[in-house]
Amino acid sequence: MVPADSEEIRPSPEGAPNGPGEGLAPEALLWRRLRDQRDPAAREELVRRYLPFAKNLALRYRGASESFDDLLQVANLGLVNAVDRFDPARGTPFAAFASPTILGELKRHFRDRVWTVRVPRGLHDRMAEVEKATTVLTVELQRSPSVNEIAAKLEIDPAEVLEVLEANHNRRPLSLDRPVGGEEDESPASEWVGDEDENYELIDDKLALEGVLPQLDDRERLILRLRFVEDMTQSQIADQIGHSQMHVSRILRRTLERIREQVAEQNGEDAG
């Protein structure tokens, strides 16, 4: 038997949320049934009634790389969580209570599943503040606000706003396969970045030289270092080691010839 103050909950035939005056129970009654009796029918009706509200919040993120269907599912999940946690006895309107919960689910979805580049939680929260301030200022000023105007609105340093804008811009790395250039010379970005290391071809010679140097005596290694590392002239080397410039020249020439011969032998052995 139905109590005298009770009203039957009648969903619309099409399954869409019922509007005011279409046989719905008063919202206060639905919340009382959910709170006191954990009535699943009341819970379902409250969720259905606020589905458009959740959809409007999800629409704020429309245009992001994530599909809107996925965003709507996340928003609806946040709505269900809000319905389960809401206490009407506190006197807060449900929409005011549910909005942070639904938006929080959407932001966590972007942070944990969509963004390729992870940002610190504090910076992520500041992004939301900057985004909100930008929206408000755009309406007030009828133009895009400057960095200083956003900083003044939030009472933070302009450098923090710049950090947020830079992080927001770079939260997704660009693919090297994306096309760049004009319509006629369009090509993948990978062809426009990077270059060959100029010293890459010297690696084999360096490895071969390292195998030869231990076979030289101390004087020969000293002359090579002074000439090719410290870039001293033969005359300067002669003054430093106490030999004539002619003698230094002969030692240097003989040492280089030995190195070339031994490197050539090693390369021949490697090739064989």
3-state per-residue secondary structure call for the chain: CCCCCCCCCCCCCCCCCCCCCCCCCCHHHHHHHHHHHCCHHHHHHHHHHCHHHHHHHHHCCCCCCCCHHHHHHHHHHHHHHHHHHCCHHHCCCHHHHHHHHHHHHHHHHHHHHHCCCCCCHHHHHHHHHHHHHHHHHHHHHCCCCCHHHHHHHHCCCHHHHHHHHHHHHCCCCCCCCCEECCCCCCEEHHHCCCCCCCCHHHHHHHHHHHHHHHHCCHHHHHHHHHHHHCCCCHHHHHHHHCCCHHHHHHHHHHHHHHHHHHHHHHHHHHHC
pLDDT on residue 76: 93
* Local confidence pLDDT in tens for the 272 residues of the chain: 334 343 444 443 333 344 433 445 588 888 888 888 888 999 999 999 999 999 998 888 776 566 788 889 999 999 999 999 898 888 888 988 899 889 888 877 776 665 555 666 677 678 778 888 888 888 888 888 898 999 999 998 888 888 888 776 666 555 566 666 555 556 665 565 555 555 655 566 666 667 677 778 888 888 888 888 888 898 899 998 888 889 988 988 888 888 888 777 766 665 55
CATH code 1.10.10.10 region(s) in the chain? 120-172, 201-271
Distance CA 178, CA 20 (A): 51
pLDDT on residue 78: 92
pLDDT on residue 90: 86
**Whole-number CA gyration radius for the chain:** 37
Distance CA 153, CA 195 (A): 45
pLDDT on residue 9: 40
Distance CA 149, CA 152 (A): 5
pLDDT on residue 75: 92
The class of domain 201-271 in CATH terms is: mainly alpha
pLDDT on residue 112: 62
Distance CA 104, CA 81 (A): 11
- Yes or no: is domain 120-172 CATH 2.40.160.20? no
Find tokens 């599943």 and name the residue: 113
